[in-house]
Structure 1
């Protein structure tokens, strides 16, 4: 089984199928998005043709949204998916955040959370988009302590209960808006219907993958992850390989040319982050060069499906410069390929 080739195709890194960000994010299910500028590149590089303005327009118009969902971290999701995904994951994310808060003396009472919800609904009403700092100023005027840690807690909880989602950016600053005003009402899904959608999205875009990969990515308990796989069983091909059961969705492409492909993957990219075990595309001895034990992921160079080095933007003045380093000194990569990949990133950023 050629795992890198099939993943490159279905993560839309080879021969992409989509032209607009909403279609791509919907196909992927969700895309991890701690680094806001990098996730824009993660979307753009998976489209047939795009500039950063293409992605920013979709974010501005609310076609794709950035919020905490599935796990206690930022993700991009398509607007029509946000409610059922929150319903599926909110209880777990809230529990994880509350557990962290108790261990760090950051507890907030349910009464104070309820007060914050009412205030958010009041100050954001009328399709307003406010930065976290602007919201904190409103909170402070009403005597609510609104330091950085507490604002993180207030806003993440408000996301989980469906009060807020990402709004229209103000310059380079992210904002929040009311979910009810940002996203039209959608039919409610049953839990099984939500599991079907999540399982289908994951295995069509991330295959080949095993159960533990899906559990890691989705944040689902193992029993619910198994249920999702069971519910879409007729859409999946299961293959035993290396002592594990691998799943490929019927909509997956399996044939494509990997030779000569080179990508500058952003930090926190789904190609690495979407799996529990990354050894099929990155030898374990190089893990520390691609990500840290506490969850920081670096921009990496992907050559023919294998992660072989790091890249970063140099000091930016009038033009963008891109520097790279290889994990192994004897690495050889066609300079034309490397220059093309760097130029593609520059063109995306410059618009």
Structure 2
């Protein structure tokens, strides 16, 4: 039977647990991952996930760390500075970490629709194309030759050339120049990331024709986030359903279809379906995930990970702010609060229904790993 014909059934619990493994958060065998190499570096994690939301840089760094045991904040900083991971706006108008070589083809797919959607905002900010192109010329002249500028320095430069940057104009100009392939975030300068020219920072990007790129987008999403639906992918990538469907058709013979009821989910055919039972039998740790983690954010249907009645305890008011989560077996047990005080950093678990002694001990182990990642002590305080 060919890979294209493989159709299996699964329960919602199966989906949640397999996602943990595919996202590099579980301890299942490499065969379930579809890879014989564990995730050990920041670049490994970003390569597997294709994109990890990085609007909140400290949260994004821990999203890498929790998936690659032993990784440290210093390792992530080094990966940023050497360019083995790249932070930019590949989709949804939101900052993500992506593999550097993949950003260009992602932008080619996502930018046209996003630019159409921002016409009204550009009008509100009185930003016409003449101003945007002037800013582009300024950026290219200032950054050519491997130079870098912090956001503040770049905005000062625009002001010096007569381009007002107040009231979000500066932010929108930076976003527009990055979304259209001129800028990206590069090395850290004075403890903040600086802007660089994308074509210098990534001199050898992958070049894919459109259909090939759509197929790559679909396949890479299911590799790092599967099992998931085509609707999940279209939302995550912010592509039209028509483009998502075309991408699925391009790589359909490289995917397994997993049905939950009448709904089709997809997973790369390199996954070993025969080993899934071992995932269900494994004892899962209670993981301290960052806010905005792809384990919840990476899907339009979040019900596999958190119940409807508890969703607003993770996303208060459904306002787009995803709190740090406690995760076990792919299900959210509650949230946790990180607080920095004069005496150090504390982590306070906030479970939905209380924690068993084993769960609390497991959560504390995850916080110790977080402490090692940061290189500073982090104490766990009782639930409020």
Normalised by the shorter chain, which TM-score bucket?
A: over 0.9
How much has 1:171 moved relative to structure 2? 3.4
Deviation at residue 212 of structure 1 after TM alignment: 1.0
Distance in structure 2 (CA, Å) of the matches to 1:12 and 1:49: 13
Post-superposition shift, 1:235?
1.1
Q: Cα distance, 1:45 vs. partner?
A: 1.0
- CA–CA distance in 1 between the matches of 2:362 and 2:349? 13
Question: C-alpha displacement at 1:319, in angstroms?
Answer: 3.2
Paired position in structure 2 for 1:183: 202
Matches within 5 A, 1:253-272: 254=276, 255-256=278-279, 258-272=282-296
Structure with the larger strand share: 2
3-state SS of paired residue (1:307): strand
| Aligned residue in 1 for 2:43 | 22
TM-score (norm 2): 0.87
Give yes or no for the alignment of 1:348 onto 2:373.
yes
Distance 1:350-1:318 versus aligned 2 partners, 3 A rule: farther
Q: Is the 2:26–2:284 contact (alpha carbons within 8 Å) kept by the matching residues of 1? A: no
Are positions 1:45 and 2:69 aligned together?
A: no
Give yes or no for the alignment of 1:73 onto 2:73. Answer: no
- The alpha carbon displacement at 1:34 in A equals 1.1
How far apart, CA to CA, are the structure 2 residues paired with 1:258 and 1:307?
17
1:97 Cα deviation from its structure 2 partner: 2.5
Checking the alignment, whether the CA contact within 8 Å between 1:205 and 1:252 is kept in structure 2 is no
Structure 1 gap ranges (5+): none
1:278 aligns with 2:290: no
Post-superposition offset of 1:258: 4.3
Equivalent residue for 1:135? Answer: 154
Match of 1:320 in 2: 345
In structure 2, the partner of 1:304 is 329
CA distance in 1, matches of 2:357, 2:203: 48
CA distance in 2, matches of 1:189, 1:111: 30
Distance 2:206 2:261 in 1: 42
Deviations 1:204-240 (A, max 9, x none): 1111111111111111100111111111111111133
* Higher mean C-alpha displacement, 252-261 vs 201-210: 252-261
Following the alignment from structure 1 to structure 2, what is the Cα–Cα distance between the partners of residues 333 and 161? 51
Residue 83 of structure 2: aligned partner: 62
Q: CA deviation at 1:98?
A: 2.5
Corresponding residue pairs, total: 348
Give secondary structure in 2 for the equivalent of 1:320: strand
Whether contact under 8 Å (1:5, 1:258) holds in the other structure is: no
Q: Quick check: 115-124 or 317-326, which moved more?
A: 317-326
Where does 1:232-271 land on structure 2 (aligned, <5 Å)?
Answer: 232-252=251-271, 254=276, 255-256=278-279, 258-271=282-295
Instruction: Indicate conservation of the 8 Å contact 1:204/1:250, yes or no.
Output: no
Gaps of 5+ in 2: 1-9, 31-37, 377-384
Distance 1:19 1:107 in 2: 46
